Amino acid sequence: MLLVIDVGNTNVTFGVCEGEEFLCVFRLITGISRTSDEFGIHITEILNHHGIRAGEVQDVIISSVVPKVMYSLTSAIRKYLKAEPIIVGMGTKTGIRIPTASPSEVGADRIVDAVAGLDLYGGPVLVIDFGTATTYDLIGKDGSFLAGVTCPGIQLSAKALWRETARLPEIEIEKPPSILAKNTITSMQAVLVYGTIGQTEYIITKMKEESKLKDIKVVATGGIGRIICESTEMIDVYNYQLTLHGLRLIYEHKERKL
């Protein structure tokens, strides 16, 4: 079995797969400081809950945008799963070419999403990840990373509203029935959700227009992304586990090269 791990700014997402099938997916909050033993106990207990023994996990691959988590996490993998984790980073063969002066500036999570988007849906493909930041990455048919746009995610925008204003409350992010809001909560929800829909549609339109590429497949991922995808016809596919699939594909590519 293969354990794939995506360390994001909000959650650490784990997936156990056998071949192309994911047997289980679970998450831990990134912002909580954990020792290697705490990570190890959490991981093994959740695996046991899903009927998977730690010894059945043969390999581990990790993509991370949060360096401070990595020491404890990788130590836990070595100690509790007896595996040496593969870390996706500079030098990892992914099949994605980054023709820029500073390829290291492109986050590992974006490369992993690009791998999955290109493999599963073909190119050119525009991959949108509705995470802590919302990212739009355009990948050419030949695997070239052509362009990327980064903006605050919907949750980040929401936190800015209630943290930086004295009288606005913390709210649940959901789409109100109308943009014609009648109270404070729905007015906040309206600007967050309808504003993100409008932003998403405009960025997709401009990236298609300026790239002059035809038949671009638009693929989205990220938890909040489902709300947006259900509200626009400009996103072709929503795949919540896109990043985990990308990690599996990178691992399989590496294994074939050995």
Residue 194, pLDDT above cutoff 70: yes
**Mean pLDDT of the residues in the chain:** 92
At the second CATH level, the architecture of 2-87 is: 2-Layer Sandwich (3.30)
Edge-to-edge strands of the sheet including 2-7? Answer: 21-29, 11-18, 2-7, 59-64, 86-87
In this prediction, residue 171 carries a pLDDT of 84
Predicted structure pTM score = 0.89
Q: Domain 103-246 adopts which CATH fold?
A: Nucleotidyltransferase; domain 5 (3.30.420)
In this prediction, residue 256 carries a pLDDT of 64
Q: What percent of the chain has pLDDT over 90?
A: 75
Query: pLDDT of 37-65, one tens digit each?
Result: 999 999 999 999 999 999 999 999 999 99
Residue 104, pLDDT above cutoff 90: no
List the domain boundaries for the chain.
Answer: 2-87, 103-246
In this prediction, residue 101 carries a pLDDT of 63
Query: Which listed residue (6, 109, 113, 137) is catalytic?
Result: 109
Residue with tokens 């400009």, as numbered in its chain: 234
Q: Is 109 a catalytic residue?
A: yes
Question: Are 187 and 167 a contacting pair, CB within 8 Å?
Answer: no
Q: What percent of the chain has pLDDT over 70?
A: 98
Question: Would you place residue 105 in the very low, low, confident or very high pLDDT band (cuts 50, 70, 90)?
Answer: confident
Closest CA to 61 of 109, 107, 106: 109
Residue 187, pLDDT above cutoff 60: yes
Query: pLDDT of 83-93, one tens digit each?
Result: 999 999 877 88
